[in-house]
Amino acid sequence: MKISWHHERQPHHDNLIRRVRTKLGTLRDECLQYFLLRYVERGFVVYSAMLSLGACLGTLTTAVDWTAFAVACGVDVSTLIFCLLFACSALCLVVTLAAAQEVPLRSKDRERERERAVDVARRWAVSGVCAVCRIPVMVGRALMHRARRGGVLGLALCLLAGLLTLLLEVVRWPFQFVKMYRSSPEALRRLFLADLASWTCLMGHGIFYTDFVAQAIYKGAPDADVGSEEASGYDEGARMGSWGLCFFSIVGFMYSTFAQEWIVGKVGEFTLMYPTNC
């Protein structure tokens, strides 16, 4: 009796184990998707915050009147602003190099990547460039053969091959972009067009806002004589417009750093993303 009871209950146990495994697999996939979305969201927050912070620093350099400080240093205002921007760029580069945590490739992977890069570069430099620029293939092969010999001539030929490769990329890029756009799904096309329109409006606002404030509000003229009232009004309007853009960047930085995660947690990602996707 015990044996028969065991055999009768065996299919039930198998179904139960199968359902438990299915639930565990679904839970695992949902957990992985959740952590992946959180990782992508965190990266987007950092990207938005750094973009707003960079815009804040860039507009702040044009919003401040550096005339007195430039006279005290004995340099021109444009030279002083260039030195400040160069120092900020160098500092950001040093911080990026110090904070980057990239896992180095193993020796075999490094050799494989190097061989692949050399093969691709050789194929582009010989076949692709010659086809686009209407140069015979034998000329490209002769360049690569002479480049292997070394010396000054080999270096010059390598530079020529690099210039031809760059020309190939410039010629091929529009065709590759159109091909990639046409082969993309409809949702990605709409998302690309929406992002393109939004970034175009944002960049147009950032570029022409200061000029609009300087000419329309402060009644200045960019081509006025130095020291005239119109030139002073244009400079003052450009600085006030830069202060407005700086305030806009500060608000974007504060939102990306502090308010975005709180708003998404209160409202929900679906409520925020559904109108955009529609």
Q: Is residue 148 domain-shared with residue 167, that is, in the same domain? A: yes
Q: Is residue 162 domain-shared with residue 93, that is, in the same domain? A: no
Do the domain assignments include residue 130? yes
Q: Is residue 155 domain-shared with residue 192, that is, in the same domain? A: no
Q: Is residue 189 domain-shared with residue 236, that is, in the same domain? A: yes
Do the domain assignments include residue 172? yes
Do the domain assignments include residue 147? yes
Least confidently predicted of 60-64, 134-138, 195-199: 134-138
How many domains, the chain?
A: 3
Least confidently predicted of 37-46, 65-74, 122-131: 122-131
Do the domain assignments include residue 40? no
Do the domain assignments include residue 3? no
Residue 197 has pLDDT above 80, yes or no: yes
Q: Answer with the one of 41, 76, 100 that is the final residue of a domain.
A: 100
Q: Answer with the one of 183, 210, 244 that is the final residue of a domain.
A: 183
Do the domain assignments include residue 20? no
Q: Is residue 129 domain-shared with residue 68, that is, in the same domain? A: no
Q: Is residue 206 domain-shared with residue 276, that is, in the same domain? A: yes
Instruction: Kindly indicate the confidence band of residue 125, based on its pLDDT and cuts at 50, 70 and 90.
Output: very low
Q: Is residue 177 domain-shared with residue 243, that is, in the same domain? A: no
Tokens, residue 218 = 């402060």
Q: What percent of the chain has pLDDT over 90?
A: 0
Q: Is residue 261 domain-shared with residue 223, that is, in the same domain? A: yes
Q: Do the Cβ atoms of 86 and 92 come closer than 8 Å?
A: no
Instruction: Kindly indicate the confidence band of residue 7, based on its pLDDT and cuts at 50, 70 and 90.
Output: very low
Q: Answer with the one of 158, 183, 208 that is the final residue of a domain.
A: 183
Q: Is residue 125 domain-shared with residue 177, that is, in the same domain? A: yes
Which long-range contacts link 42-48 to residues 24+ away (Cβ below 8 Å)?
A: 45/256, 45/257, 45/260, 45/261, 48/252, 48/256, 48/260
**Which ranges of the chain does DSSP label H, i.e. alpha helix?**
2-63, 67-73, 77-99, 107-123, 129-132, 137-147, 151-183, 186-212, 229-254, 260-267, 269-277
Q: Is residue 205 domain-shared with residue 257, that is, in the same domain? A: yes
Distances (CA, A) of 264 to 53, 95, 270: 21, 30, 9
Instruction: Kindly indicate the confidence band of residue 136, based on its pLDDT and cuts at 50, 70 and 90.
Output: very low
Q: Is residue 197 domain-shared with residue 265, that is, in the same domain? A: yes
Q: Is residue 193 domain-shared with residue 234, that is, in the same domain? A: yes
CA angle 144, 148, 154 (to 5 degrees): 80
Do the domain assignments include residue 96? yes
pLDDT of residue 146: 53
Instruction: Kindly indicate the confidence band of residue 127, based on its pLDDT and cuts at 50, 70 and 90.
Output: very low
Tell me which residue range forms the domain holding 87: 64-100
More confident residue, 130 or 16: 16
Residue 268 has pLDDT above 80, yes or no: no
Distances (CA, A) of 207 to 172, 201, 203, 238: 30, 10, 6, 11
